[in-house]
Structure 1
Amino acid sequence: MYQPRLPARTTHLPIRHHRYHVREWGPEHSDLPLLVLLHGWMDVGASYQFTVDALKQPRRIIAPDWRGFGLTTGPQTDHYVMADYLADLDLLLDHYAPDQTIDLVGHSMGGNVAMMYAGVRPERIRRLVNLEGFGLPATRPAQTPERYAQWIDEIKQLHQGDKDLKAYDSADGVADRLMKTNPRLGRDKATWLAQHWAQPDAQGQWRILGDAAHKVVSAQIYRVEEAVALYARITAPVLAVEATSDSLGQWWGGRYTLAEYHERLKQVPQYRIASVADAGHMLHHDQPEVVAQLIEDFLA
């Protein structure tokens, strides 16, 4: 199994009726800005361990488990709203960095949250690294009625148990799933991740540490005009990192392309794009040394 070079400390923090689980690495006090790592959908803060281990410069680092993921606990719900992540992050920073700007890294959904938050609270972010946080395909207002109907139908499916997450017989089964989803992930890392990505229940079945309610579609359509308005308010320099495998094109099958994403990025006042070869969407698992170097060079 993978052996972390820099083991994490863990703590819990009360945020908006939730008990947020936060991983911390490095010295408790540092002259460098706090580095905050935001994980993606159906992932956990521990997902950044390989990248943290590859960083060369000691600094204080935190990675929360978002509400409904990992070891963060809170009131039961049957859907999640993106705006809640913005408020959760704001209160998290009130605790960890009330009077200083921070360096922010987000992957996938976490990258989208990071970009939105940097537009809402530009004064709090010194530099921002967006790892494959592409946003979503453009929509039209005429899609609104259909979306609300879909949202209602999926909530019904959730309460009927039709959206339950698959259980696994063992941690090895979870590791197999991780490797099937990402063929570049080695057995040593998959075995380590499985211990943090899932836990055994009372019957000994290993269950993913993600609320099935996350599978319910958002009630609101994705409005590109709102996204780029947030991008335009970002004052921090932004590094947009993407894998050369074009996971965006593979996922959306032509409905949304890298060219469209790059066009949206032009609204960010200061940005540049970097690519990581031999990597897929989980590029911080596939090439943690390369990703760590990109992050450190940019933050410096």
Structure 2
Amino acid sequence: MKRKILKTAGVLLGIAALGFAGLMAATSGDAPVTDLVVHDADLPRLTVNGITLHGEVIGDPGAPLAIVLHGGPGGDHRSLKALAALEETHRVLFFDQRGAGLSERVAPEDLTLAAQLSDIDALAEQFSPDGQITLIGHSFGAMLALAYIGAHPTRVSRAVLIEPGFLDAAGYEAWEARRAEMSRTFPVVRAGLLAGFQSRNVTATDEAAPQDYVVGTVVHAFADHPDNPYHCAGKPYDAPAWRFGATASDTFWADPSVIFPALDAAFSADVPLLFVAGGCNDWTGEALQAAHASRFPTAELAVVEDAGHDVIWDQPAHALTAIRAFLD
């Protein structure tokens, strides 16, 4: 009996060893991770509150300032670059939030909501000290825009909010239930497992690169899941990204309730809002954004057909038409 047990154990160990060796061989190539702005002198940069951000400002310095806020948290503004067309009427500011995208990495204790709002305020003060600003936020960036409005309602002239996922605790619970279910599926779990092995070969040298690679890979697999309406049916999720900030993401999701008081304050703000939804998205799309818009006294809704969650990337011309009509 003991010999049989030992033989079985040996076979299992052999299978495990072969599986491990197979995974190592299958993930032996480079894992590309783009260098951060603090390590690449050629990247455009902005400095606020002692943090170096990957970003730039385009357009006439005398035009009204529009600040673009990307999603995530932890993402970057690459898929939103079509908004540069707004420089015809606005000075457009793009940036990756602190700890996110290609911006400088900071400690978790420096990734508070207050710090994020302070960065937006510092950018507004630096580039539009005497005038109101326009905010254009996507996904988490739309929530961040509303949080800023809650804290500084007179500083914002109007805001474009592209598919915020939730605005209160009940909305978060509904959103999280669907996210959790999809995150446990084989394609997402498999992507995370392979990325964990591949992360030993990241091309960037900073200490955040391996975890950024793993989380960024999982986030893309989640968005590209065949049952995820972040992309239109039959099409891949192809919105591009430079790099994902794992710690920025983990820090927020550890306690997303921190944003609720600021969002509550925004409900009573007298700021014109345009909620934008992708026509393909039955999760955070038209129905949810119509419900969100109904809670504000000065909100409108625009639906961009043949677009998923990344409305600007999927249908830039149609999205810009709706945004221009609102801003004009």
TM-score, scaled to structure 2: 0.61
Which residue is equivalent to 1:240? 275
Q: Which residue of 2 aligns with 1:45?
A: 77
Give the CA deviation at 1:78. 6.9
Contact 2:157–2:271, Cα closer than 8 Å, also in 1? yes
Larger Rg: 2
Q: Do residues 229 (structure 1) and 262 (structure 2) align?
A: no
Contact 2:132 2:155 in 1 (8 A): yes
The answer on whether the counterparts of 1:11 and 1:21 sit within 8 Å (CA) in structure 2 is yes
What 5-or-longer segments of structure 1 have no aligned partner?
Answer: 1-8, 141-160, 199-207, 251-256
Alignment equivalent of 1:131, drawn from 152, 162, 176: 162
Which amino acid letter does the alignment assign opposite residue 127 of structure 2?
Answer: Y
Alignment partner, residue 219 of structure 1: 255
Residue range with higher mean Cα deviation, 215-224 or 267-276: 215-224
Bigger helix fraction? 2
Task: Specify whether residues 219 and 68 from structure 1 end up closer, same or farther in structure 2 by C-alpha distance, changes over 3 A only.
Answer: same
How many residue pairs get aligned? The number is 240
Aligned with 1:128: secondary structure?
strand
Match of 2:51 in 1: 18
Query: Which runs of 5 or more residues in structure 2 are unaligned?
Result: 1-41, 172-207
Alignment partners' CA distance in 2, 1:96 and 1:56: 14
Find the aligned partners of 2:317 and 2:222 in 1 and give their Cα distance: 20
Write out per-residue CA displacement over residues 41-80 of structure 1, whole angstroms, 9 at most, x where no aligned residue: 1421232212324x48353211111011122214333783
What is aligned with 1:288?
316
Aligned residue in 2 for 1:60 = 91
- Which segment is superposed worse, 121-130 or 223-232? 223-232
Corresponding residue for residue 154 of structure 1: none
Higher strand share: 1
Q: CA 1:59/1:219 → structure 2, altered by over 3 Å: closer, same or farther?
A: closer
For residues 190-219 of structure 1, what are the alpha-carbon distances to aligned partners after superposition, in whole Å with 9 as ceiling and x for unaligned? Answer: 6xx4xxx33xxxxxxxxx342345134233
| Helix, strand or coil at the partner of 1:221 | helix
- Paired with 1:23 and 1:274, the residues of 2 have a C-alpha distance of 28
- Decide which of 115, 118, 122 is 2:153's aligned counterpart: 122
Listed as ranges, the matches of 1:5-154 within 5 Å are 11-27=44-60, 29-30=61-62, 32-41=63-72, 42-53=74-85, 55=86, 57-77=88-108, 80-136=111-167, 138-139=169-170
Q: Distance between the aligned counterparts of 1:247 and 1:80, measured in 2? A: 31
1:218-272 Cα distance to aligned partner (Å, 9 max, x none): 3353675763332212x2211111112235359xxxxxx945x644533422111
**Cα distance per residue 1:4-44 (max 9 Å; x no partner):** xxxxx9643332231122222223x23x3112111111421
Alignment of 1:143-222 (within 5 A): 164-166=211-213, 180=224, 193=240, 197-198=241-242, 208-216=243-251, 217-219=253-255, 221=257
Q: What's the secondary structure of 2:161's corresponding residue?
A: strand
Distance 1:297 1:19, change over 3 A: same
Opposite residue 47 of structure 2, the aligned amino acid is P
Say which SS state the counterpart of residue 267 (structure 2) adopts: helix
User: Are the counterparts in 1 of residues 277 and 284 from structure 2 also a CA contact under 8 Å?
Assistant: no
* Structure 2 CA distance for partners of 1:101 and 1:26, relative to 1, 3 Å: same
Q: CA deviation at 1:123?
A: 1.3
* Inter-CA distance 11–223: structure 2 relative to 1 (3 Å threshold): closer
**Separation in 2, partners of 1:134, 1:167:** 23
One-letter amino acid matched to 1:248:
W
